[in-house]
Amino acid sequence: MQSLEAELEEARALDIDDLADAIESIGFECTRCGACCKGEDEDDHTATVFPDEVRELEESDEYEGDYDWRDVARPMPYGLSETEAGDLEGETFEWALQTDDCGDCTFYEEDESGTGACVAHDDRPLICRTYPFSVALAGTSQPMGEAVDEEGVVRAHECEGLGRDISRADAEELARALKERAVRELEEAIAVRDEYAPAGPDPGEVVVHDSEGAKRIDGTPLEE
């Protein structure tokens, strides 16, 4: 198995034209069905987000300071456990976009016809910009289960918009975002590994380890 550093070099060497060729071959057009923004069955929507992306949404002029860290992001639930009092505790290693009471992304809305829209579309994170695609490199996220199609290193995940015609310009834009995401995910994984220090056998709260160190659920450093 290659090291994360070797995978990062592969990600940095990804060719935009090759990625765009693969995306064109698979085909994609968003139908605004909202499936990628909603929870599924009893599982909440889960989309990973980098700490700087959380701040961009939190500080966006569009929301005029209405959001704080917890409005935008929540700890990735994997690795956490529930106490007798019903609170969560433990350590996890990623942030996920916050969800509403229905388990859908907090930034997702539907109009009266049922057509979905992202209210943070211009500031949406890379994982949202690149869905339903990922690249087949260790250390990168593979959203929404197994791939249903693939071309070279590009994988496509379940989405009703797959197989539709896509323009070359849109394929190239998506390819650039896909490469950026792959690089960022590997840089994040390496930084998390290098920054990690166990919070202790009984942290008594939720601790999220990201590339900037250990944080509480409100995004503040654990040591403060």
Q: Is 197 a member of any domain? A: yes
pTM of the model: 0.89
pLDDT at 27: 97
Q: Is 220 a member of any domain? A: no
Q: Is 103 a member of any domain? A: yes
Which span out of 7-21, 77-91, 112-126, 138-152 was modeled with the highest average pLDDT? Answer: 7-21
Higher pLDDT among residues 58 and 28, named by residue: 28
pLDDT at 139: 63
pLDDT at 61: 63
Report the mean per-residue pLDDT for the chain: 89
The total domain count for the chain is 1
φ/ψ bin of 152: left (φ > 0), alpha (ψ from -120 to 50), beta (otherwise): left
Q: What is the pLDDT of residues 8-37, one digit of tens each?
A: 999 999 999 999 999 999 999 999 888 899
Q: Is 133 a member of any domain? A: yes
Show the 3-state SS of the chain: CCCHHHHHHHHHCCCHHHHHHHHHHHCECCCCCCHHHCCECCECCCCEECHHHHHHHHHCHHHCCCCCHHHHEEECCCCEEECCCCCEEEEECCEEECECCCCCECCEEECCCCCEEECCHHHCCHHHHHCCEEECCCCCCCCCCCEEEEECCEEEECCCCECCCCCHHHHHHHHHHHHHHHHHHHHHHHHHHHHCCCCCCCCCCEEEEECCEEECCCCCECCC
Q: Is 132 a member of any domain? A: yes
Q: Is 158 a member of any domain? A: yes
Domain boundaries, position 90: 4-215
Which span out of 7-16, 113-122, 146-155 was modeled with the highest average pLDDT? Answer: 7-16
Nearest-5° angle of CA 153, CA 187, CA 22?
Answer: 20
Higher pLDDT among residues 147 and 204, named by residue: 147
Q: Is 223 a member of any domain? A: no
Q: Is 121 a member of any domain? A: yes
**Is pLDDT of 201 > 90?**
no
Where does the pLDDT of residue 174 fall: very low under 50, low under 70, confident under 90, or very high at 90 and above? Answer: very high
